[in-house]
Chain A
Amino acid sequence: MKKRIEQEEVRYIAHLARLQLSKEEEIKFARQLGKILEYVEKLKEVDVSDTAPTFHVLPLFNVWRKDKTGVSLSQEDALSNAPAKRRGHFQVPRVI
């Protein structure tokens, strides 16, 4: 099945993904994503009606530890890579 993705849809997905794509990227990704989605259409051949999904290969459920304070990063270390910080906080542009 031919799979088409419109540029408008690419722009919407980019918004969800928080990416500011250029015009050229929108055109290129529309084409490339269409081609990849066309390829993955082949999964539709498989009957999965009686098959449960695998989210994880391990038979793991909740892994608990004792609720005790351990060693963690210092405030200084946690902030050491911040592009902008102020008085011990991460700083972001104005929100409102």
Chain B
Amino acid sequence: MNLPFLPAHTLHKLLKKKEISVREIVTALFDRIEKVESKIKAFLYLDKEGALKQADEWDRRIAQGDKLGSLTGIPIAIKDIICIRKIETTCASRILKGFVPPYSATVIRKLSRAGMIIIGKTNLDEFAMGSSTENSAFQTTRNPWDLETIPGGSSGGSTAAVAAGEVTLALGSDTGGSIRQPASLCGVVGLKPTYGRVSRYGLIAFASSLDQIGPITRDVRDCTSLLQIISGPDKMDSTCLNCPVPDYSQALIPHLKNMRIGLPREYLISGIEKEVRERIMEAVEILKDLGAQVEEISLPHTPYAVATYYLIATAEASSNLARYDGVGYGHRTPEKTRLIEMYKKSRQEGFGNEVKRRIMLGTYVLSKGYYEDYYGRAQRVRTLIRQDFDLAFEKVEAIVTPTSPSVAFRVGEKTDDPLQMYLSDIFTISANLAGIAGISLPCGLGRDNLPVGLQILGKPLSEPTILRVAYAYEQATRWTEKLTLPQELSDDRVSK
């Protein structure tokens, strides 16, 4: 039995039958981490001792006959932008080095209540700004499929850790694709919930009108279970939707009879790799075989999504990141200066390149004389992008697209050209602007045998619909089970 690569629902069955203990699961993961982490560099913080302590506590409670929830005793890794009380949270930024939050995010409290074992914090692009995890101030995470390539980003530490068998589940955050794009590039499942479905309390803010926390998992069933646990209203986040959470497991139906699915013509045009397009078209055939009616639709404002996003996200970021002033927490320059210079020097020393670039762009587009031309216009185009989806969802229940126009690119390939890097989010960004739900799951291999992701989008609160499409597709293809890492990292992967 190869515990590091088993999905949570399989581990749950084994725990239930008392064939394994939580301690055995945790130990197996840390053995795996010891073996591969020096190559992958997914984690910024690991807590073996704490994890084993939690494991023993749950083993004791299970032995006493405590009820075993679907994810009780299952290990999880947390993107290091989500606060955990008394555990350093850095956002992969020097400005927050040493910051120890005095409170935990709502999602963390929910995970603990569900009996999940938090094993560590994962790497990201600084403040979640990036698409490759190369903007981390501390380390570059590698894609387990090819160590010369990036894992995607910004939740690249979380997706690489799951893909490499270092952890069973992970949480990420998605502002413009930061869960779905790295999930796609690492061959795992990642879901961005509807804006407001999951509490943002304790998620360190990047762009508040776009950010959402979501699950990163080995398969769709695990994604469903983890979403179930983290969703729901929260009085600590007034933008969190005050509506009941359905039983997502009801959505796991292995066929798509009477389902209407749209294929946006704007998503299959220029700039997309040949193999990516082929995998998506093959996936469409499978969706048809499963009973879905697939029709071409149009989202005419798609070509404006990236520009709209980079104006809105940077404007919000420049305002959110104003709080790092070297006073309440975070880095303060050691130089003796007056107040304003202290702010400027602390921020200069603490922030990395991409963060400064985005603060600059955001400040520029909000500044006097430019506001209406840039930020104001972007807000209006955002309305048009939303309306495209509203119209499309009158005709179809779900939309399928590639998650990323390419498979994982090489380390360093796009670091000197911010615009090229931004364009790698071209298919994921619209969902954040419109506030809708989206999932990415593996749909085969593309160029250089690297994973390709299929993105499924649905209207607000349609998580059951997109999970159903994803599940039916996964059951029909079994990609999530069939994909195995290259030899270098799969030595100890045996058949299940």
Contact A19 B328, beta carbon cutoff 8 Å = no
Cross-interface CB contact of A58 among B196, B338, B339, cutoff 8 Å: B196
- Interface of A, secondary structure class, is loop
Bound together, the chains give a CA A21 to CA B412 distance in angstroms of 24
B311 contacts the other chain (Cβ, under 8 Å)? yes
Q: Which of A34-54 contact B (CB under 8 A)?
A: 35-37, 39-40, 42-46, 48, 51-54
Residue of A nearest to B423 (CB): A39
Q: Which of B347-384 contact A (CB under 8 A)?
A: 347-348, 351, 356-357, 359-361, 363-364, 367, 374, 376-384
Contact B102 A77, beta carbon cutoff 8 Å = yes
Contact A19 B344, beta carbon cutoff 8 Å = yes
A93 contacts the other chain (Cβ, under 8 Å)? yes
B316 to chain A, nearest CB (A): 10
Q: Which of B319-336 contact A (CB under 8 A)?
A: 322, 325-332, 336
Bound together, the chains give a CA A19 to CA B325 distance in angstroms of 10
Contact A53 B356, beta carbon cutoff 8 Å = no
Residue of A nearest to B314 (CB): A36
Contact A13 B435, beta carbon cutoff 8 Å = no
> Assuming the A-B contacts A33-B357, A65-B235, are A48 and B381 also in contact, with contact meaning beta carbons closer than 8 angstroms in the complex?
yes
Contact B337 A93, beta carbon cutoff 8 Å = yes
A75 to chain B, nearest CB (A): 11
B238 contacts the other chain (Cβ, under 8 Å)? yes
Question: Which one, B252-260, B302-310, B472-480, is touching chain A?
Answer: B302-310
Bound together, the chains give a CA A84 to CA B325 distance in angstroms of 12
> Assuming the A-B contacts A18-B347, A93-B342, are A83 and B331 also in contact, with contact meaning beta carbons closer than 8 angstroms in the complex?
yes
A1 to chain B, nearest CB (A): 12
**Chain A residues near B361 (CB, 8 Å)?**
33, 36-37
Residue of A nearest to B324 (CB): A18
Cross-interface CB contact of B195 among A37, A57, A65, A84, cutoff 8 Å: A57
Contact A29 B383, beta carbon cutoff 8 Å = no
> Assuming the A-B contacts A39-B307, A93-B338, are A53 and B382 also in contact, with contact meaning beta carbons closer than 8 angstroms in the complex?
yes
**Chain A residues near B363 (CB, 8 Å)?**
13, 16-17
Cross-interface CB contact of A40 among B301, B310, B338, B380, cutoff 8 Å: B310
**Chain A residues near B380 (CB, 8 Å)?**
46, 48, 51-54
B467 contacts the other chain (Cβ, under 8 Å)? no
Cross-interface CB contact of B238 among A43, A55, A60, A77, cutoff 8 Å: A60
Contact A92 B339, beta carbon cutoff 8 Å = yes
> Assuming the A-B contacts A21-B348, A36-B361, are A54 and B379 also in contact, with contact meaning beta carbons closer than 8 angstroms in the complex?
yes
**Chain B residues near A55 (CB, 8 Å)?**
209, 379
Contact A80 B322, beta carbon cutoff 8 Å = no
Contact A36 B310, beta carbon cutoff 8 Å = yes
A37 to chain B, nearest CB (A): 8
Residue of A nearest to B238 (CB): A63
Contact A33 B310, beta carbon cutoff 8 Å = no
**Chain A residues near B338 (CB, 8 Å)?**
93-95
Contact B308 A18, beta carbon cutoff 8 Å = no
**Chain A residues near B102 (CB, 8 Å)?**
73, 77-78, 80-81
**Chain A residues near B332 (CB, 8 Å)?**
83-84
Residue of A nearest to B359 (CB): A17
**Chain A residues near B306 (CB, 8 Å)?**
39
Bound together, the chains give a CA A58 to CA B239 distance in angstroms of 8
**Chain B residues near A23 (CB, 8 Å)?**
none
Bound together, the chains give a CA A15 to CA B376 distance in angstroms of 23
B208 to chain A, nearest CB (A): 9
**Chain A residues near B209 (CB, 8 Å)?**
55-57
Contact B360 A19, beta carbon cutoff 8 Å = yes
Contact A48 B304, beta carbon cutoff 8 Å = no
**Chain B residues near A60 (CB, 8 Å)?**
196, 238-239
Bound together, the chains give a CA A29 to CA B102 distance in angstroms of 36
Bound together, the chains give a CA A63 to CA B379 distance in angstroms of 23
Contact A13 B356, beta carbon cutoff 8 Å = no
Bound together, the chains give a CA A80 to CA B103 distance in angstroms of 12
Contact B339 A95, beta carbon cutoff 8 Å = yes
**Chain B residues near A44 (CB, 8 Å)?**
377
Residue of B nearest to A17 (CB): B363
Contact A43 B342, beta carbon cutoff 8 Å = no
Residue of B nearest to A70 (CB): B235
**Chain A residues near B347 (CB, 8 Å)?**
17-20
Contact A18 B325, beta carbon cutoff 8 Å = yes
6 more contacts with CB within 8 A, not counting A46-B384, A51-B381, are A20-B341, A29-B357, A46-B301, A53-B380, A57-B196, A92-B339
| B residues at A contact (CB < 8 Å) | 98-100, 102-103, 195-196, 209, 235, 238-239, 241, 301, 303-304, 306-308, 310-311, 318, 322, 325-332, 336-345, 347-348, 351, 356-357, 359-361, 363-364, 367, 374, 376-384, 386, 418-419, 422, 433-435, 460
| A residues at B contact (CB < 8 Å) | 10, 13-22, 25, 29, 32-33, 35-37, 39-40, 42-46, 48, 51-58, 60, 63, 65, 73, 77-78, 80-84, 90, 92-95
